[in-house]
A and B are shown apart, each in its own frame.
Chain A
Amino acid sequence: MATAVEEAQLNQLEIQVDNGGGGAWEYLCLVRKLKARRSDKVLKHGLYILNNPRARSKLGEEEFTLYEQVAFAAMDCSRNDIAKDCIGALFKKFPGSIRVGRLEGMFYEAKGAWSEAEKVYTRLLADSPLDQVILKRKVAMAKAQGNSAAAAEYLNKYLETFMADHDAWRELAELYISIQMYKQAAFCYEELILCQPACPLYHLAYADVLYTMGGLENLQAAKKYYSSTINLTGGKNTRALYGICLCSVAINQLTKGRNKDEKDIFDLQSLAAEGLLRDYKERAPKKLSLVTTTLRNIKMVS
């Protein structure tokens, strides 16, 4: 994650390089360090250095890092011809390297040659079965082919070993949602909440999944998690406010007013509705009437 300062620095450097002010290599280094994805610029400036023998020889050993970076950028911009040249140069220098092998696999992926990419990855995995990048590439490949179920399966296998990798859990949660396996998705979000209990986005997503599953118990839990999102964001999250309203309506429908502590709940939902209206009045006054009618329709405001 890039901090605001680093990002400002990057932008400044980018403007400088774009206007021919030099510092292309420094820019590329910074992009690499911040893991920024500015493939078009990287491709342009990286290629300029690579095509300029003097600038290239100045880099020394770093030249091959640049080749790798440009190869990634080229694949991202679907300039497969450039990527191929870069990978060829790297292969010459490091035959049999896993890192170059990964690039090769991704090159086939970029071309859409799935079976060949699969072959490359299988070969690499035979040597180092615990290579996280390759295992994740396989997931990405299944996903790119539109086979979410297979992607989820690969990811499950990956998580059996690397079970503390919360990015993988998040990806899995999203995959499960996309194939409507909400119970499993809920499990993944629980895992994410355990990992970072103070991150409101996970609470929100978990509440969404619970609400989608339905049923009184889930709806009540969903409402609680929406509440905790409101807590964590200081009431600034519009989605959580809507969530409270919808959950309350759904719960009311299910219980038909048989709820004992109705009054408490009523307070929260009317407050949420009020908060919503206020929010819209401030930030999108044009849509206020729309929200008012919607809320009136579900009897949140009179």
Chain B
Amino acid sequence: MAEDLVLDTAIRNWVLVPLSVVMVLIGVLRYFVSKLMRSPQTLDAKIVREGQLIIRARNLRAAGGFIPVKSFRARRFYYTNEENGLLHVPKGQAQNPQAQMFSDPNMAMDMMKKNLSMIVPQSLTFAWVNFFFSGFVADLSGNKINLRISKLPFPLTPTFRSMLQNGIDLSTVDVSYVSSRSWYFLNLFGLRGLFTLILGEENAMDDTQRMMQMGGFGADPSKNLSAEKDGLDIFQHEWTISKMEKRAEDVLRKLVK
């Protein structure tokens, strides 16, 4: 393009700045709304129990040599016997987490609340940006560009076009011009640092993280249990304490001398 598009300062004052400010305000608002909607974490007795059980079984495996063999065997039987051992998970009863999620309405409700606080304001702002800040005519040397655009103060390679000029289908426009829709997206993902400053470390605004969460949802607790059970089953008990008398003798001999 031979001549630069000259931007009206009004575009800066009435589009770019308000858009950013509105994004920040919406972010803050969303944080408080999600804080209000968050239901208090109710612990499930079964889940707590399983977590604690795994710690205890792990301790037994790690330090089993420190207790007499009788006590060890009693504990192992308690954990791993096939009838009612604590670590024994009957076949077929192992629920997969997806099914569990659907069977537990609370969980689904929680997910929905989270999603509500994420998707609804986002789509609303998106619609708002599209509605108000497009359809504008930047009238410059006869060109009619159907979107409001603004310019970044540095040059960029053409690959950034899809990122920065979403909605403008003109290959002749220099890449450092940004369309309003793209400015919105830049703000959406780029303001996380600012939110951390405003709302503190643990704000609920981390969209990228939330998307990750939705991907790999939950690990199967029963798998942990049976892994721990196998570990205990093959554990060879060796009573380390039985050698202690000799060693204590050495210690004392050194001390007395």
- Residues of B close to A271: CB separation below 8 A: 249, 252-253, 256
Distance between Cα atoms of A143 and B248 in the complex (Å)? 38
Distance between Cα atoms of A267 and B64 in the complex (Å)? 29
Distance between Cα atoms of A91 and B122 in the complex (Å)? 39
Is B48 touching A231 in the complex (CB atoms < 8 A)?
Answer: no
Count of residues in B whose CB is under 8 Å from the partner chain: 31
Is A234 touching B60 in the complex (CB atoms < 8 A)?
Answer: no
Answer whether residue A88 sits at the interface, using C-beta atoms and an 8 A cutoff. Answer: no
Interface size of A as a range = 35 or more
- Residues of A close to B63: CB separation below 8 A: 193-195, 197
Contacts A193-B67, A230-B252, A275-B255 given; indicate if A224 touches B52 (C-beta within 8 A).
no
- Partner-binding segment picked from B92-100, B144-152, B239-247: B239-247
Is B64 touching A274 in the complex (CB atoms < 8 A)?
Answer: no
- Residues of A close to B62: CB separation below 8 A: 194, 197
Is B252 touching A225 in the complex (CB atoms < 8 A)?
Answer: no
Distance between Cα atoms of A7 and B112 in the complex (Å)? 48
Distance between Cα atoms of A7 and B55 in the complex (Å)? 32
Contacts A230-B251, A275-B256 given; indicate if A224 touches B244 (C-beta within 8 A).
yes
What are 30 A-to-B residue pairs whose CB atoms are below 8 Å? A128-B42, A130-B43, A130-B48, A162-B52, A163-B52, A163-B53, A164-B53, A191-B56, A194-B56, A194-B59, A194-B60, A194-B64, A195-B59, A223-B245, A224-B241, A224-B245, A225-B241, A227-B249, A230-B248, A231-B248, A235-B255, A244-B248, A264-B246, A268-B248, A271-B252, A271-B253, A271-B256, A275-B252, A275-B255, A275-B256
Could you tell me the dominant secondary structure of chain A's interface residues?
A: helix
CB within 8 Å of B: which A153-187 residues: 160-165, 187
A residues touching B (Cβ–Cβ < 8 Å)? 128-130, 160-165, 187, 190-191, 193-195, 197, 221, 223-228, 230-231, 234-235, 244, 264-265, 267-268, 271-272, 274-275, 278
B237 to A: closest C-beta gap in Å: 12
Total number of residue pairs linking A and B with CB closer than 8 Å: 97
Distance between Cα atoms of A164 and B68 in the complex (Å)? 20
Residue in contact with A130 in the complex, picked from B45, B56, B241, B256, CB distance below 8 Å: B45
B186 to A: closest C-beta gap in Å: 36
Distance between Cα atoms of A128 and B40 in the complex (Å)? 11
Residue in contact with B247 in the complex, picked from A190, A194, A226, A227, CB distance below 8 Å: A227
- Residues of B close to A265: CB separation below 8 A: 245
CB within 8 Å of A: which B212-257 residues: 241-242, 244-249, 251-253, 255-256
Q: Which of A230, A267, A272 counts the most B-chain CB atoms under 10 A from its CB?
A: A230
Is B45 touching A161 in the complex (CB atoms < 8 A)?
Answer: yes
Answer whether residue B49 sits at the interface, using C-beta atoms and an 8 A cutoff. Answer: yes
Q: Which of B49, B53, B59 counts the most A-chain CB atoms under 10 A from its CB?
A: B59
Q: Which of B52, B247, B248, B256 counts the most A-chain CB atoms under 10 A from its CB?
A: B248
- Residues of B close to A267: CB separation below 8 A: 249
Is A193 touching B45 in the complex (CB atoms < 8 A)?
Answer: no
Q: Which of A225, A235, A272, A274 counts the most B-chain CB atoms under 10 A from its CB?
A: A235
B79 to A: closest C-beta gap in Å: 11
